[in-house]
Structure 1
Amino acid sequence: MRDCHEGKLQLPDFQRGWVWDQDRIVDLLASVSEGFPVGALMTLEAAGEVAFAVNPIEGAPAASKPLEAYLLDGQQRMTSLYQSTSSRNAVKTQTAKNKPVKLHFYFDIRAALNPNVARRDAIVATPEDRIIREDFGRRIALDLSNEDAQFTALHFPIDRIFDAQIWIQAALTWVLQDMEARKDHMALINEFSIRVINNFTDYHVPVIALGKDTSRAAVCLVFEKVNTGGKPLDAFELVTAMYAGQTFRLRDDWKARRDRLAKQPVLANVEPVEFLQAISLLHTKSVRARAEAEGKEPPAISATRASLLQLPLSAYVAYAGMVEEGYIKAAKFLHGLKIFRARDLPYQTQLAPLAAILAELGETWEHDAVRKRLAQWYWCGVFGELYGSAIESRFALDIRDVPRWIAGGPLPQTVDRADFREERLRTLRSRLSAAYKGVHALLMRCGAEDFMSGQPFDQTVFFDENVDIHHIFPEAWCKQPAQGISPDIYNSIINKTPLSARTNRIIGGVAPSSYLSRLEKGGGQLPAIPADRLESILKSHEIDIARLRADEFTAFFDDRRARLLRLIEAAMGKDAVRETVAPPDPDDHYSDEEQEAEVQHVGEHEETI
């Protein structure tokens, strides 16, 4: 407690705020009062390889002594003990119902000495003014606001536990003022001192003390293992603390960059760890190239957690501006692919290698041949569904392979190994699928026009008209028992296409032949659309209008599947794997996330999925 008070033991500044509630504090105090173990602490000796910015234990004053150690594990216990036993201020905590409260804690001395009373039940919490009131505040049930009141009620203030003798001496003086009436009080106080207070003053918490020569990787691994409660610490928080030890405020720097990136809706969800990954790709690639030039064993190109934790501040400073510009270029590139919003990104994870590649390419990425190769790589990643797992190793391959390919080298592994299977189209039903969102974007990129307005989906139209993906054969029509169409089929991407919200409302839930007739005839404020123009619009969506006019769902479905497959093949620059046997079960290739999304939509009647 003294080390916490003096600042010799402090917290790395990425440790999250103190969060224990009243019940957990009471349980901790009860355990210590009976001499029960409360678990070991873990500390790291200061002045070693790892230097963190620090914060004092919450509630402690500014440090008065030099830092000696970081508290790696035990923040909640040490903060609870410090605030309740060593600070005269009320403990800021919360009730079991998450209501913020400020409390002082006391031992009811009689209850604490009663073997039939659980020790936690002998601990009393009072409001900040140390007075417990009842009857909506109209009656004082227990007043502990001064020492005389505490002596009379035999309630010991736990925040006096480490200077208890001063309180006990004052109690003795109080007893001597009326010895005859108060002699039993002194006997109980003395017994309480022996059986309870001494357990605090003699208590020893085991400490696992890591030496100052402990490596950065080992320290970060410790944090990952011991931080089992709440949100796990990510690499950005750890790097932030390490850079702070070099007086660089990474969090402030990132906030400014994030605000600039977020002006592009497609970049709204860029995470700081992803930004660090892009920097790490460029840095480790440069280090590898330098080692190769010097004839040394080249280290790996990497964007793993371990490589982020080894990322020197000098590398961040050198590459952060390039990577930020790479992300801005990525937004422009994605707009060209008709991907305008973060929610429509097939893979958020693919942004990091894309930004790193564009940062390295500089202005050459604007050349037509370069953009075409970048697009092929991008679509291969999307339709090959390659960025869902084991992504860090793929990032490293991408930053190595793609610039080399653009310069005339061999195919990148992402392009070479990407496959799209024909049967996958029928199982794409959820927005959580990258390939599902890929088809949505690909249709807009290939010139799809809104059924009603006839406008292509450029960025302005996309946002102004609230464009999303909707059913072609309306869901309400498909659900009719007479149609006999399975939801697994009519909810497939094959039966969906980009449309404005207004157009989707006009289509409604009727048969395609009915809404096509309505669009052609017009009426009210809806102008008529010539039949040949409507056919041209539907063709831009890879739809055969004749099958819609005839309400032939099966023929439409088979024809459009073939058309969409050709679009995907053109985007990937390679043939898809064709079906050679009977179509598989609809749940094949159906991820857990997609199944969960489908369950959430059971019973819904909206046209949008």
Structure 2
Amino acid sequence: MEARTKSVEDWFSMIREGLLTLPRFQRFEAWRPNQIEGVLENMLRVPLLPIGALLILEVGDKELFHSRPISGAPEPKGMPQMNLLDGQQRMTAVWRSLTDDYDEFTVFVSLENDEQPEIEIVKRYLNKSGKRMPLWADNPPECLERHLFPVSILCPGSKGEQAMDEWTERAETSKSTDKAIMRLRQRMASYPIPFLSLPVTTEQETALDVFIKMNTSASPLKDFDIVVAQLEGAVGDSLHDMIGELHEEVPAAGDYGKIEDTALAIGALLNGKPPLKRTYLDPEFGSELAAVWDQVVLGMKRGVAFLRDEAIFNEKLLPTEVIVYLTSALWANVPIDGVDQEGRARTLIRKAIWRASFTDRYLKTATTRAFADYKAILAEITDPTTDAQADLFDEAQNPLPQPAELIRGGWPSRKDRLGRAIMAVSLYGGGYDFADGAKATAENVRFREYHHVYPRALLQDNFPDHEVNSALNCSLISWKTNRKIAAKTPKQYLEERAQDANATEDQVRHRLESHLVPYDDLVSGDFKSFVEARAERVHAAMVKLADGSLP
């Protein structure tokens, strides 16, 4: 491995000519503005401070990996000379700052001290008229009043020089300011960035191994980033592209969290492995994932559809992420035309979803437990005579909560597992809106709000917060209905809603019952009796679902 150095001006020349590219498996930008500020200040101060060495893979007659340009850079017109394996975030930040390529902010340099200049990043946005705000950031005289100039006029090359001339002319800068800017331009252009290079004789597997180990120890990669590299190295396909196609084919999958993480977990289970980092770090996992990818897509499509059927419409109703990949992996193994097996699968997967939601099974070591349950449930789906039984279904090890325990379920928006499980069960019967009578669906539930069935204003002086904010005092209803409830008693606001919506008492009763809200207990005015009655209803529905006997 050879160590060398190039100036920023030389690196920029290579980027413009398409001679320096990124392997396509590299993750995308992840740096925050404060990190961009830090690296630019290191480069402009006197004495300069290092920003770290790059790792380069030299390219010969043929690239070992598919490549793409640095974000904002021109598309390569021919074969690159180098692939950037490590240092992408630094080089992208420097390139995009100096070429003014960020839409969401503009990077400025302070003129207060050109020996240790400070970087200031100003957020930009479009107002209703389509103008980019703040307006002063595009007005050189106003920038100069603030002792700021855009870092883009320090960009090496003729375009940067032209930009500097135009900006200083419009700002009507003094000679001393012009000299200070020129000193900073020269300092930036000549700033040395060292790099280590792997020769063209490097094997693909070796380059991948170096990439993964360097990124894992220095700037940690996500599991997905590692598998991207492994898969492209193994089969030549881009996992980024595969995930993009998966988004198009199963768009609803994105409602349940990061689709890439779910896909990896499904792929691990389908390959008979737990969805752990250890699995993803295995050099063979990339090719193993590619081998089962069609099953991953099919399983996710059927799994998401089943979750919607169970009224778990999105991530905010998800008690545990385990049920997404466990459900999808199980459905991937069920023959589409296998009537008996499909019916058996439907019952067993329903049991798994609701027991996973209400028990403590996956509070700890979730991935290894999910793997063990996946194998046992799959055996039951495949062979009804098997002796295998998932620990998830063992009532002694993983008991369902009793009504008194359900009362402790927290407010669902706070990612309380039991609270979210209660909310999901409460929508299973339709979750019709109190006022307009609309049934809860994946499309409209995202516009609903968490509503205190007994308004907070009626309870907060007499009951502790954990009782006021119990999941059993919550329902998901439309925002219009929620705004009109205010601090009225349930009896008052229900009568008003019925009158406004021209609904009968029976219709309102039915809508409340669809949320497992007991109408008579609600309008009686006794909050504790209402909570206890609703706990009993939720418990009865939970037991049936966790037994697979509904619908």
Structure 2 length normalisation: TM-score?
0.68
| Structure 1 residue 102 displacement after superposition | 2.0
- Which of the numbers 236, 254, 257 marks the counterpart of 2:224? 236
Flag the 1:559–1:537 CA change in 2: closer, same or farther, 3 A. same
* Alignment map for 1:180-329 (pairs within 5 Å): 214=206, 219-227=211-219, 233-245=221-233, 246-262=235-251, 264=252, 267=255, 269-282=257-270, 284-285=271-272, 301-309=273-281, 310-311=283-284, 314-329=287-302
3-state secondary structure, aligned to 1:441: helix
Q: Answer whether contact 2:356 2:362 (CA < 8 A) is retained.
A: yes
What corresponds to 1:356 in structure 2? 329
| Structure 1 residue 278 displacement after superposition | 1.1
What corresponds to 2:132 in structure 1? none
Determine if the alignment matches structure 1 residue 405 to structure 2 residue 380. yes
| Structure 1 residue 253 displacement after superposition | 2.6
| Structure 1 residue 75 displacement after superposition | 4.8
What corresponds to 1:587 in structure 2? none
| Structure 1 residue 255 displacement after superposition | 1.0
- Which of the numbers 418, 430, 434 marks the counterpart of 1:435? 418
What corresponds to 1:594 in structure 2? none
| Structure 1 residue 538 displacement after superposition | 4.6
Q: Answer whether contact 2:361 2:398 (CA < 8 A) is retained.
A: yes
Determine if the alignment matches structure 1 residue 477 to structure 2 residue 458. yes
| Structure 1 residue 271 displacement after superposition | 1.9
Distance 1:339 1:539 in 2: 18
Determine if the alignment matches structure 1 residue 510 to structure 2 residue 493. no
What corresponds to 1:528 in structure 2? 504
Flag the 1:28–1:369 CA change in 2: closer, same or farther, 3 A. same
Query: Which is greater in Rg?
Result: 1
Aligned residue identity for 1:380: R
Distance 1:30 1:454 in 2: 65
| Structure 1 residue 333 displacement after superposition | 1.0
| Structure 1 residue 514 displacement after superposition | 2.8
| Structure 1 residue 376 displacement after superposition | 0.7
Flag the 1:102–1:464 CA change in 2: closer, same or farther, 3 A. closer
Aligned residue identity for 1:412: A
Q: Answer whether contact 1:132 1:141 (CA < 8 A) is retained.
A: no
Q: Answer whether contact 1:130 1:143 (CA < 8 A) is retained.
A: no
Instruction: Give CA deviations for 1:377-421 in whole Å, capped at 9, x if unaligned.
Output: 111111125456533323422331211122333221233343344
What corresponds to 1:113 in structure 2? none
Q: Which runs of 5+ in 1 are unaligned?
A: 107-125, 162-199, 286-300, 575-609
Which deviates the most, 368-377 or 246-255?
Answer: 246-255
Distance 2:238 2:359 in 1: 39
* Alignment map for 1:68-107 (pairs within 5 Å): 71-75=84-88, 94-95=107-108, 96-98=119-121, 101-104=151-154
Aligned residue identity for 2:154: H
Which deviates the most, 433-442 or 384-393?
Answer: 384-393
Flag the 1:449–1:242 CA change in 2: closer, same or farther, 3 A. closer
Determine if the alignment matches structure 1 residue 487 to structure 2 residue 504. no
What corresponds to 2:475 in structure 1? 497
Q: Answer whether contact 1:277 1:308 (CA < 8 A) is retained.
A: no
Q: Answer whether contact 1:267 1:331 (CA < 8 A) is retained.
A: no
Distance 2:93 2:277 in 1: 32
Distance 1:327 1:220 in 2: 28
Aligned residue identity for 1:356: A
* Alignment map for 1:358-377 (pairs within 5 Å): 358-363=331-336, 364=338, 367-377=342-352
3-state secondary structure, aligned to 2:407: helix
What corresponds to 2:398 in structure 1? 418
Distance 1:545 1:155 in 2: 73
3-state secondary structure, aligned to 1:426: coil
Q: Answer whether contact 1:52 1:243 (CA < 8 A) is retained.
A: no
Instruction: Give CA deviations for 1:340-390 in whole Å, capped at 9, x if unaligned.
Output: 334323334431221111011132488434312111111111112545653
| Structure 1 residue 83 displacement after superposition | 11
* Alignment map for 1:557-568 (pairs within 5 Å): 557-568=531-542
| Structure 1 residue 541 displacement after superposition | 4.3
Structure 1 length normalisation: TM-score?
0.62
* Alignment map for 1:151-166 (pairs within 5 Å): 157=186
Distance 2:482 2:94 in 1: 61
Q: Answer whether contact 1:511 1:551 (CA < 8 A) is retained.
A: yes
Q: Which runs of 5+ in 2 are unaligned?
A: 109-118, 123-149
What corresponds to 1:123 in structure 2? none
Q: Answer whether contact 1:380 1:572 (CA < 8 A) is retained.
A: yes
Q: Answer whether contact 1:465 1:500 (CA < 8 A) is retained.
A: no
| Structure 1 residue 550 displacement after superposition | 2.9
| Structure 1 residue 540 displacement after superposition | 4.9
Q: Answer whether contact 1:132 1:140 (CA < 8 A) is retained.
A: no
Aligned residue identity for 1:430: P
Identical positions, percent: 20
How many aligned positions are there?
Answer: 471
Determine if the alignment matches structure 1 residue 383 to structure 2 residue 358. yes
Aligned residue identity for 1:486: P
Flag the 1:265–1:217 CA change in 2: closer, same or farther, 3 A. closer
What corresponds to 1:569 in structure 2? 543
Distance 1:37 1:506 in 2: 60
Distance 1:81 1:265 in 2: 35
Aligned residue identity for 1:393: T
Distance 2:95 2:531 in 1: 69
What corresponds to 1:555 in structure 2? 529
Q: Answer whether contact 1:90 1:104 (CA < 8 A) is retained.
A: no
Flag the 1:524–1:381 CA change in 2: closer, same or farther, 3 A. closer
3-state secondary structure, aligned to 2:152: strand
Q: Answer whether contact 2:54 2:193 (CA < 8 A) is retained.
A: no
Distance 1:429 1:321 in 2: 38
Determine if the alignment matches structure 1 residue 332 to structure 2 residue 305. yes
